[in-house]
């Protein structure tokens, strides 16, 4: 029951939401944190699609990183973890252990997987 999965349509809606953070801020400050949730969801859709693709387009990878950074800088622990994980493993982004540790340390207080990955990098 319900709608069929359609990543392209979902991505388009999240992109619209992410480009209008002022609309999100008034609905729930805790959930949307000035658009952070929409930015993370859009970045996560890009991440999942790029991870499955054989050849990642550099522009799309840069866009994913941009949206993740926006959400991570708004204290979205999921975005902080995703950035830390990508940097730690060199997945889609160039491996950079200093950046990985930075983002994982920020996420560790709220994200179990971030704490575990941070321990692995120690």
Question: Does the residue 116 lie in any domain?
Answer: yes
**Number of domains the chain contains:** 1
Angstrom distance (rounded) from CA 94 to CA 76: 22
Angstrom distance (rounded) from CA 26 to CA 80: 23
Question: Does the residue 58 lie in any domain?
Answer: yes
Angstrom distance (rounded) from CA 122 to CA 118: 6
Question: Does the residue 2 lie in any domain?
Answer: no
Please give the model's pTM, rounded to 2 decimal places: 0.75
Residue 70 belongs to domain with CATH number: 1.25.40.10
Amino acid 27: pLDDT: 45
Range of the domain at 52: 7-121
Question: Does the residue 12 lie in any domain?
Answer: yes
Question: Does the residue 1 lie in any domain?
Answer: no
Question: Does the residue 47 lie in any domain?
Answer: yes
Condensed to tens digits (0 to 9), the pLDDT of residues 26-73 reads: 444 544 556 788 788 888 888 988 988 877 889 999 999 999 999 999
């Amino acid at each position: 029951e319900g709608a069929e999965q359609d990543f392209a349509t979902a991505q388009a809606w999240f992109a619209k939401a992410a480009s209008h953070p002022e609309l999100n801020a008034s609905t729930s400050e805790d959930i949307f944190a000035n658009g952070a949730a929409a930015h993370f969801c859009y970045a996560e859709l890009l991440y999942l699609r790029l991870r499955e693709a054989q050849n990642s387009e550099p522009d799309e990878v840069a866009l994913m990183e941009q949206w993740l950074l926006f959400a991570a800088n708004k204290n979205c622990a999921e975005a902080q973890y995703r950035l830390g994980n990508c940097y730690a493993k060199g997945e889609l982004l160039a491996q950079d252990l200093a950046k990985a540790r930075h983002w994982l340390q920020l996420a560790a207080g709220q994200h179990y997987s971030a704490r575990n990955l941070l321990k692995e990098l120690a």
